[in-house]
Structure 1
Amino acid sequence: MKLPHYYTLIFSFFLSIFLFSCKAGLTKETNQEEKRPNVLVIIADDLGAHDLSTTNSKYYETPNIDRIASEGFQFDQGYASCQVCSPSRASIMSGKFTANHGVTDWIGAASGERWRKANQFTKLLPPEYEHKLDTSFVTMPEAFRDQGYETFFAGKWHVGGEGSSPEDHGFNTNIGGYDVGSPHGGYFSPYNNPKLKDGPQGENLSMRLADETIQFMKGNKEKPFFACLSFYAVHSPIQTTEEKWKKYKDKAVEAGVAKEGYKMGEVLPMRQQQDNPVYAGLLESMDEAIGNVLSSLDELGLADNTIIVFTGDNGGVVSGDSWSTSNLPLRGGKGYQYEGGLRVPFLMKVPWMNQKGKKNDTPVISTDFYPTLLDLAGLDLLPKEHSDGVSLVPLMEGKEIEERPLIWHYPHYGNQGGKPVSVIRKGNWKLIHFYEDAHDELYDLSKDEGEQTNVFAANKVIGETLYKELFDYLKEHNAKYPTVDPEYSEEAAQKYLKRVGVDRKVILEEKRLEMLSDDFDPNNNWWGSQRIID
C-alpha cells in the first residue's frame, strides 16, 4: 500500500534526524579504523608548577604552552612521579611508581659507600638502585608501536644507556636521546651530543629538537604516530640570548627588584623570586619551539586529530643546580619531597572533546598518561604494565575517578637539599616519612598547600593508616632503603652546611643582582648564541 505523501515526508524527516544523530554521536573510538589519532607528548625538564602564564606566573611568558591549556584541559594538581628526573621519566614510560620499576634516583648519582665521595657528610648512605629501565617492561611507546603506530623520540632520555636507549623501549626513531641528562654542549650548537648532529654554530637546541619533530610529522602524516618531544630545557646550565636577557631584565627592574632573593632552607639557600632573566629567556625559547610545532600541526592538517600532552619531570629548581626559579606558594623544589618538588604543569588537549580551558583539581600523576593515552586512542589497555596509573578520561568527561593512593619513594639525598623519604598522598592528606630520624609529617593540602603545619599529632589515626598503606606498597615491591653511615661526623656536617648554606647565600645574592644589572656580560658571545652563520 502506498503511503500518503505527507506520511512519506514525515517518515523521511524523522529518518534524517535519526541518521544525523547517529553520525553526530559517533565517538573517536568508533572511527579508529579509519584514522587513529596521533599522540604528541611534550616533556619539559625541571619546569616549576608556577613557571607558566597559565599556572599564574606574572614574570615568564609562555603563550604557546598556554594555548595548549586554553584549547585543552588543565589538571591543577598534577604530579611528577619523582622529585628528580630519571625516576620520573621511567615512570612516564612504564606507568609504574619508582619503587615498582626500581630507578629511584637520577641515573649517575652515587649510592652506598660511594656516596661519601660526594662529601655531603650525611647521616645515611643511600641504597643501590636500577641504572636503567628494565626492557622486560612493555613501555608506552612499545604499546603504541605494537598496535600500529610509528614512534619517534627527540631530546632528553636519561633512562639508561646502551641496551636501554629510546630505541630499546619502543621508539623507531631517536634524535638526541642518550644516557646523559643535561645538554653537555649547552643550548647552542655545537651540542656535544652523540645522538644529535650539530647544526650551524649558534643554532638553538630547543628549536632544533622541535624542527626534528616537525620533520617527522611531515613524513608520517598519512599514518598514526606517537611522538615524544622531550626538551633538555630548562635544565642547567641556563643560557639565553642577549636580546631575551634584556627583555626580562627590564621586566624585572620595572616590577621592582626585591632586596633579598633567597631564604635559607634546612641545607641550602632557596630562591624566593621569579626574576631570573636568563632562565626566563631559556623558557621563552622552549615556548617558541613548541609554538612552531603547534603551527606545523595546523599547517599539516593534523591538529584536529592529534592528542597533545604537556608536562614536566619534576618541580622547578629553587636550590642547587642554577637556583633558577621560585615555586611559591608551594614549598621546596626539585629534589624535595614537598609540593614544589613534585607538582608540575599537567596539560592535555584532545581536539574532539569539549574541554577548552577546563580545569580539574583531582590529584593526578604522570603514571596516568600511559593508560589515558591508550584509552583516548581506542587501543587496548595493558593494566599489568601501567599498574600504577589510571585513565583520566572520566575526569575529562566531567565524571570522577575512584580515590587512590599516589606514592613516591626517594631513599636518596637530592643535590638540591632534599632528604631520603617516602611519601603517600590520598585525598587531601599527604604523609612524608623521613628516614634520617624516622619521623613523619602529615599535611592537609586542602587547607595547607604550602605545607607549613605538620598535623600528624592531631590526626594520628589518619597518619598511621597512611603509613601502613605506604609501607605495605613498598614491601610488596621490595623497595630498598638507606642505611646508617657509621662514619658520619656531626662536626664535619656542620662545617659543610655553613659552607654551602650561609656562605653560599651571600654569593648567590651578589650574582642575582649582577644578572639584573645593565652591564651583565656572561662571556664574549652569550654562550655561543652569537655564532650563527648567516
Structure 2
Amino acid sequence: MIKPLLSMPLLLALFVATATSSANERLNIVLLLADDLGWTGLNCFGSDLYETPNLDALAARGIKFTNAYANCTVCSPTRASIMTGKYPARLHLTDFIAGQNRPFAKLQIPDWTKRLDGEELTIAEVLQHSGYRTGHIGKWHLSGTGKQGQGTKPIDQGFDVSLERPPGSKGYLIKTPSGGESKSHYLTDLLTDKACEFIDQSKSTPFFLYFAYHVPHTPIQGRPDLVDYFESKVDPNATHTNPTYAAMVASLDHSVGRIVTQLENNQLTGNTVILFISDNGGLTQRNGKHDGFTENLPLRRGKGSAYEGGVRVPAIVYWPEVTPAGSVCDEPIITMDLFPTLQHIAGIEPSELHNNDGRSLAPVLRDPTHRFDRDLFWHYPHYHAGGDSPYTAIRSGDYRLIEFHEDKRVELYDLARDIGETNDLSTTLPAKTAALTNKLHAWRESVNAQMPTPNPRYDADQATKVVGKRKPRVQSIP
C-alpha cells in the first residue's frame, strides 16, 4: 500500500471527524509498559518467587493473554510499534537506540532509523486531537541524539505532559533536593508519584496515561527493604532465584497498586481501561554468559535472542463491563495491536489512509475465544549481547519459523507441542518450512525491510567486539 501524501493536521482531522463518543462518555486509558519483564515474570504467569498481588488482582478482574508478543526482542522498536501501530521493519526502527556497533561482524547492519520520525502519526496525537489529555511518565527511548533528536521528544509526539527521571541520575536509587538536604527515592516510586499527580490533575477530562517503567531493566537494583524481604524467600531449586530482581518486580507491582488506588479514590475505575504489557522478554544472558538475572522458562532464551523468550511477554487488560473477569485468551496478539485498540476504546473510527499493521483487540477483549486470521512477523537485522545474530521470524498458527541471515539456515518449531523450541522440524517438515519461508520473504518485501549485507571488514577473531557506548538520555522531573 502506497502511503498517501497527506499533511499531519489533515490526517489527524480524519481521525477526529469520526469520533463516536462525546467527551463525558469517553473512557480513560492507562497503558502500563514494563521494561524487560519476561513471560513468567508475574506470579499469575507462573513465577515461583516474584510476588505480584496487584497485577494478579488486575488479571482476576480482566483478561490475561498467554500468547502476547512484543514486536521486537529489544525495547525501542517495540515502543515505536505501540506508538504507531506499525511493524518496526516498516519504520526502519529495528534496534534499541542507539544500537550496538560490531564493526568486524560477519554482516554489516543496515543504516536504520535511530529515532521515531516526527512525521509518524502516534496514538498520543490521535487521542490528543480527539480531546484527551495525554501524559507520558517514565522511559521514552524513541528520541534521536543531537540534531536527530529535534522534534522527537514525547512532547513533540502528542503528549501534553512528559516526565522522566531527574537529570544526570543513574540507576534506581535517586537523591533529590528537599529543604536544603537531599532525599533518597527509589525511581519507580518517584515516577509513580508523578503518575498519580497526572491522574489527579486529569480527572475532569478524558485522559490517556502512558506509564513506561524502567524496571526491571538493568542495573539490577532493588529497594533495600524489598531485597531483604526476598532474600529470606529464595529457594535455590526454584526457577527464579534472584532476590534483587524479585524486589524490582515487586516495586513494579506496588506501583500498579498505587495507580489502581488513585483511580479508585477519584471514582474513576468504572470508566478507565487499564492495559499492561512488557516491551520484550526478560534478560537471561549477555555476551554468551548467563547473568542469572531472571529466567523465562519454559521458553527458550530471552531478550536479544530470536527465540520465544525474547518476544513472548505477559499481558493483562481490564475493561470495565467488557472483559470477562478472570478470563484467559490464548490467541496471539502483539504490541502494534495497541494503537487500533486504544482508538476503539476511545470511540475513534480508524482512517483508511493510515497504514496500520495492528488489529484492534476489541473482539478478543469481549470474547477470549475469538480468532484472528493472520501471521505475525519479527525482523531484527542486528547483533545483540542477548545472544543472536540478525534474523527474521514468522508465527503462523502454532508454527514458528526463524531465518538466520548469517548462514541462511532456518529453524521450524511447533509451539503447541514444543513451547521451549527444542525440536527443529525444518528437515522433518520440508513443505511447511518452504511455505513459511516464502511467506516470510513476501512479508519482508511488503514492508520494505532493511537487510544486513556481507561485511568487507569481517574478522572472525574480532566478530563479537563492540565499539563505542551509547550515552544515556535523561529528562527532568519538576
Question: Quick one: which amino acid aligns to residue 282 of structure 1?
Answer: M
1:201 maps onto 2:171 in alignment: no
Q: Post-superposition shift, 1:76?
A: 0.5
What is the aligned counterpart of 2:203 among 217, 221, 240? 221
Letter in 2 for 1:430: R
Q: In the alignment, which of 287, 293, 317 is matched to residue 253 of structure 2?
A: 287
Amino acid at match of 2:283: V
- The match for 1:318 among 265, 284, 295 is 284
Which of 296, 305, 314 is matched with 2:271 structurally?
305
Q: AA paired with 2:152?
A: S
- Give how far 1:34 is off: 3.5
- Name which of 423, 445, 454 aligns with 1:475: 445
2:326 to 357, 360, 365: 357
Q: 1:452 to 1:297 in 2, by over 3 A?
A: same
Per chain length, whose mean CA-contact separation is higher, i.e. which structure has more relative contact order (CA < 8 Å, sep 6+)? 2
CA shift, 1:186, in A, is 1.2
Distance 1:101 1:300 in 2: 39
Matched ranges for 1:445-484 at <5 A: 445-484=415-454
- Residue identity (%): 36
What amino acid sits opposite 1:137 in the alignment? E
Q: Closer, same or farther in 2 for the Cα pair 1:108/1:373, shift >3 Å? A: same
Q: Specify which of 43, 63, 68 is matched with residue 78 of structure 1.
A: 68
Name the counterpart of 1:343.
Answer: 312
Unpaired stretches in structure 1, ≥5 consecutive residues? 1-28, 193-197, 259-271, 498-534
For 1:36-185, what aligned pairs fall within 5 Å after superposition?
Answer: 36-111=26-101, 115-116=102-103, 122-160=105-143, 161-176=149-164, 184-185=169-170
Structure 2: distance between partners of 1:369 and 1:382: 16
User: How far, CA to CA, are the matches of 1:199 and 1:352 in structure 2?
Assistant: 48
> Deviation of residue 200 (structure 1)?
5.1
Q: Which runs of 4+ in 1 moved over 3 A?
A: 29-34, 382-386, 489-494
Q: Which amino acid aligns with 2:233?
A: K
Quick one: structure 1 residues 384 and 97, their matched pair in 2 at CA, closer, same or farther if it must change by over 3 Å? farther
Partner of 1:379: 348
Equivalent AA in structure 1 for residue 441 of structure 2:
F
1:244 is aligned, of 217, 226, 245, to 226
Decide whether the 8 Å contact of 1:45 with 1:232 is kept in 2. yes
Residues 385 and 358 of structure 1, relative CA distance in 2, 3 Å threshold? same
Q: Displacement, 1:469?
A: 1.7
- Per-residue CA deviations over 1:151-188 (Å, capped at 9, x if unaligned) read 0000000011332111111111100179x9xx952112
Sort the Cα spacing of 1:454 and 1:329 in 2 relative to 1 into closer, same or farther, 3 A. Answer: same
Task: Confirm or deny: 8 A CA contact 2:48 2:239 kept in the other structure.
Answer: no
The total of aligned residue pairs comes to: 437
Whether 1:235 aligns to 2:235 is no
CA distance in 1, matches of 2:305, 2:39: 14
Q: Which residue of 2 aligns with 1:425?
A: 395
- Residues 1:406 and 2:406 aligned together: no
List per-residue Cα deviations over 1:197-227 (Å, max 9, x = no partner): x995311111111111111111111110011
User: For 1:392, which of 348, 358, 361 is the aligned residue?
Assistant: 361
Distance 2:321 2:181 in 1: 37
Equivalent in the alignment of 1:507: none
Structure that is richer in helix per residue: 1
Decide whether aligned partners of structure 1 residues 384 and 418 sit closer, same or farther in structure 2, where only a CA change above 3 A counts.
farther
The amino acid across from 2:119 in the alignment is: S
Retained in 1: the 8 A contact 2:70–2:334?
yes
Q: CA deviation at 1:473?
A: 1.8
Q: Name the TM-score, length of structure 2 as normaliser.
A: 0.86
CA distance in 1, matches of 2:60, 2:31: 17
Q: Structure 1 residues 464 and 383, CA, compared in 2 at 3 Å: closer, same or farther?
A: farther
Q: Determine if contact 1:94/1:386 at 8 Å carries over to the other structure.
A: no
**30-39 or 225-234, larger mean C-alpha shift:** 30-39
**Which residue identity is paired with 1:306?**
T
Q: 1:384 to 1:316 in 2, by over 3 A?
A: farther
Using the alignment, how far apart are the partners of 2:79 and 2:425 within structure 1?
32
**What amino acid does structure 1 have at the position aligned with 2:56?**
D
State the SS of the aligned residue for 1:203. strand
The CA distance in 2 between the partners of 1:459 and 1:243, in whole Å, is 53
RMSD over aligned CA atoms reads: 2.4
Pairwise CA distance, 1:384: 4.4
Aligned residue for 1:458, secondary structure, equals: coil
Structure 2: give runs of 5+ residues left out of the alignment: 1-18, 144-148, 467-478
1:218-263 Cα offsets, whole Å, 9 max, x none, are 11111100110111111111112332222211111xx3x24xxxxx
Equivalent-residue separation in structure 1 for 2:81 and 2:444 (angstroms): 16
- Separation in 2, partners of 1:391, 1:31: 17
Partner of 1:327: 296
1:188 match:
173
The 8 Å contact of residues 153 and 177 in structure 1, kept in 2 or not, is answered as no
Mapped to 1, the partners of 2:322 and 2:315 lie a distance apart of: 17
| Residue 33 of structure 1: how far off its partner (Å) | 5.1
Q: Contact (CA 8 Å) 1:241, 1:281: kept in 2 or not?
A: yes
- The one-letter amino acid of 1:336's match is S
Q: Distance in 2 between matches of 1:214 and 1:364?
A: 29
* Alignment-mate amino acid for residue 285 of structure 1: S
1:443 aligns with 2:413: yes
How far has the Cα of 1:140 moved from its partner? 0.8
Residue 223 and residue 33 in structure 1: after superposition, are their counterparts in 2 closer, same or farther (change >3 A)?
A: closer
Tell me by how many angstroms 1:305 deviates: 0.4
The DSSP-based 3-state class of the residue aligned with 1:189 is strand
- Whole-angstrom CA distance in 1 between matches of 2:170 and 2:176: 4
| Aligned equivalents of 1:467, 1:384: Cα separation in 2 | 30
Q: Structure 1 164/311 Cα, relative in aligned 2: closer, same or farther at 3 Å?
A: same
